[in-house]
Amino acid sequence: MERIKPHTLSGFMELLPGEQAMMDRIMDTIRRVYGLYGFTALDTPLIESSDVLLAKGGGETEKQIYRFSKGDNDLALRFDLTVPLAKYVAMHYADLTFPFRRYQIGKVYRGERPQRGRFREFYQADIDVIGDGALDIMNEAEIPSIIYRVFTELGLHRFVIRVNNRKILTGFYDMLGLSDKAGDIMRTVDKLEKIGPEKVRAILCDDFDIPGESAGRILDFMAIRGGNDRVLAELSGHTGKNAIFDRGYEELKTVVTYLKDFGVPEDHFAVDLTIARGLDYYTGTVYETQMTDHPEVGSICSGGRYDDLAGFYTDKSLPGVGISIGLTRLFFLLSDRGLLNGELPTAPADVLILPMTEERAFAVETATAFRAAGIRTQIYSENKKFKARMTYANRLGAPFVAILGEDELEKRMVSLKDMRTGTQELLTVEGAAEKAAAYVAQSRGMAPIKE
């Protein structure tokens, strides 16, 4: 037979079983937390009609898109979960209840130049709340509390959710008479942390012809730091001059107040005037999430408030707020930085049953009892020597091995070996199940991330 070398495409993550178990644990945690906040799960097609997916148009994205024909159809793979959501809400508007809260965890596709830590197929884990004509500000405060809970339950503790409000920036540049340059300024200010204030000032003045005095005021504004109350106090000094600024200030103040109610600790949450996110889409509160010890990886969860989800499909006004976690990249980073919890059991079975005789009925009976107790159980039925069996058990990484030899069969009991300690006990099937179940329950409480 002519053989083909098996390979996986570059830019496509394919995990080994133990890694996959860890990834699944992360995904399950996110799913569970999203669910606790009353979001409904959606699962839209990966392929959409190109006219639907590209309705909004979009330079860079369009170049990266996977687009192809099948029969007469011009098709494309989704490149995010927001456009499919917009399509879904516009299309099923009459069947949905607003505010419509949905989460979706799914793969998206972008034909980026492959490089370390960049993926062409990757998971996004999104939540959005969509209003019908209006949406209360409280949703903008609840979102960071969900971010807080997701990462805390994942085992990540050293992170800060940075929050800003686009109306504050829009209003501030308006006050400076720089509305038409707002986009350029935001993009430049975004580099503040990387290149420092002097280079930012130079770009603002030289490249965008912004007067030195205005550039100075911009840098002073961006330099406002301190606790959230202090930042808000400084901002209040700018109120009363611009209606958009004032509205942004009020919104931000409301979000900060609610956040305390939602139990997000002050040290996990920072008003940061340098956060702007993309340019056209967001209109109010914006979020970024930074790992305290790994600022170099950028934001691990971002989003914000927008006013018009689906204007390219419908005349309904659909404002919303949402966030997205780039899950594949996050997993890569956690693994790369050694932040995955090595103590979390990732074996597919909690107990491996080793029948040492030809008899199988008692092994099956034991397995059935274990499984009824929620214990993931595998029977090793291959005809191998004891040593080969124990090698298998070790490689599998199962926390327990249940040995069924002549003696155990006769007594209808199980020798349960704890593979971590090496201790072995002769137990009844029920006793062994209890012991394994206790371990399973304990390991369920373990977090996949360990800083």
CB nearer a second copy, residue 4 or residue 213:
4
The alpha carbon of residue 281 and the mean position of all alpha carbons in its chain are separated, in whole angstroms, by: 20
Question: Residue 12: which of 80, 109, 126, 84 has the closest Cα?
Answer: 109
30, 99, 252, 439: which one contacts a second copy (CB under 8 A)? 99
Q: What are phi and psi of 410, to 5 degrees?
A: -60, -40
Cβ closest to a second copy, residue 30 vs residue 52: 52
C-alpha distances in angstroms, 398 versus 61, 86, 93, 354, 434? 45, 45, 49, 12, 16
When asked if residue 147 is in the footprint of a second copy (CB under 8 A), the reply is no
> Which of 280, 382, 385, 445 is the binder for a second copy (CB under 8 A)?
382
Give CA 385 to chain center in angstroms.
45
Of 44 and 341, the one with the shorter C-beta distance to a second copy is: 44
Residues 37-76 that bind a second copy (CB under 8 A): 37-49, 51-52, 55, 66, 68-71, 73, 75
Of these, 58, 61, 107, 450, which contacts a second copy (CB under 8 A)? Answer: 107
How far is Cα 353 from Cα 401, in angstroms, rounded to an integer? Answer: 6
Task: Say how far apart CA 256 and CA 209 lie, in whole Å.
Answer: 35
Q: Is 175 among the residues that bind a second copy (CB under 8 A)? A: no
DSSP E strand stretches across 110-248: 121-130, 159-165
Q: How far is the CB of 311 from a second copy (least distance, A)?
A: 6
- Burial (Cβ within 10 Å: 0-12, 13-18, ≥19) of residue 197: middle
Q: How far is the CB of 176 from a second copy (least distance, A)?
A: 30
Q: Which two tokens stand for residue 336?
A: 């790369």
332 binds a second copy (CB under 8 A): no
- Candidates 61, 62, 80, 111; binder of a second copy (CB under 8 A) is 111
Q: Which is nearer to a second copy, 129 or 300 (CB)?
A: 129
Interface residue with a second copy, options 148, 249, 258, 306 (CB under 8 A): 258
Question: Where are the strands (E) in 93-228, listed by range?
Answer: 100-109, 121-130, 159-165
Q: Name the one range near a second copy by CB under 8 A: 11-19, 169-177, 286-294, 439-447.
A: 11-19
Question: Considering the rule CB under 8 A, would residue 167 count as an interface residue with a second copy?
Answer: no
Between residue 184 and residue 213, which ones bind a second copy under the rule CB under 8 A? none
- Measured over the CA atoms of residue 390, residue 396, residue 401 and residue 402, the dihedral's sign is negative
Decide whether 39 or 221 has the Cβ nearer to a second copy.
39
Q: Which of 138, 356, 390, 409 binds a second copy (CB under 8 A)?
A: 138
Q: Shortest gap between Cβ of 299 and a second copy (angstroms)?
A: 25
Q: Is 151 in the site for a second copy (CB under 8 A)?
A: no
Is the CB of 8 or the CB of 423 nearer to a second copy? 8
CA distance 431 to 427: 6
Residue from 236, 292, 357, 381 touching a second copy (CB under 8 A): that is 381
157 close to 268: Cβ distance less than 8 angstroms: no
Binder among 59, 115, 361, 387 for a second copy (CB under 8 A):
361
Q: Which is nearer to a second copy, 17 or 405 (CB)?
A: 17
Using DSSP's 3-state secondary structure scheme, residue 95 falls into helix
Could you identify the residue written with the tokens 């018009």? 308
Shortest distance, CB of residue 241 to a second copy, whole angstroms?
A: 28
- Binding flag, residue 390, a second copy (CB under 8 A): no
Task: Give me the phi and psi of 386, to 5 degrees please.
Answer: -55, -40
Task: Report the DSSP beta bridge partners of residue 355.
Answer: 404
Q: Which of 142, 155, 222 is CA-nearest to residue 186?
A: 222
Count of residues interacting with a second copy (CB under 8 A) = 99
Q: Is the dihedral of CA 86, 88, 92, 98 positive or negative?
A: negative
Judged by CB, which is closer to a second copy: 67, or 238? 67
Among 17, 196, 227, 405, binds a second copy (CB under 8 A): 17
The position carrying tokens 């490089």 is: 115
Q: Does 94 bind a second copy (CB under 8 A)?
A: no
Strand 40-41 to strand 100-109: parallel, antiparallel, or no bridges (unpaired)? Answer: parallel
23 binds a second copy (CB under 8 A): yes
Which residues lie below 8 Å from residue 377, measured CB to CB, with a gap of 6+? 349, 350, 351, 352, 353, 367, 370, 371
Nearest approach, Cβ of 325 to a second copy (angstroms)? 17
